[in-house]
Amino acid sequence: MVLTAMNRLENLDLSNNKIEALPGEISMMSGLNKLNIMNNQLTDVPVELADLSRLTSFDYQGNPFSPEIQQKIMDLMTGNYQKPAPPKKKAVRKAPVKRKARK
């Protein structure tokens, strides 16, 4: 993505663009101080936002975020985000082999 090559960009305003997804590669924009994603169609944000260590202003209002995602954003911005544990693999049970009775 072109945005990832812009590591010196300090202010990015993506507001009012009907954006549905924000790529995790945005974290490669290491110089970013201000990010505005207001009034789009975002329902989630990438966890990589936590890697933007210079980010001091993050405007995200006006997107249809659930309360859980709003909490995720707060945790990402304060360094309190814990990645969810990977799903447990289900144990596969093999069916018992039926043996013919001996005569």
How close are the terminal C-alpha atoms of the chain, in Å? 72
CATH of 2-78, one of 3.40.1280.10, 3.40.47.10, 3.80.10.10, 3.50.50.60: 3.80.10.10
Q: Which whole-number Å values give the CA distances from 56 to 14, 34, 95, in the listed order?
A: 16, 6, 58
Which tokens go with 38?
């207001």
Q: Where are the domains of the chain?
A: 2-78
Separation CA 60–CA 8 (nearest Å): 22
- pTM of this prediction exceeds 0.95: no
Q: φ and ψ at 6, to 5 degrees?
A: -95, 60
pLDDT digits (tens, 9 = 90+) for 6-47: 889 999 999 999 999 999 999 999 999 999 999 999 999 999
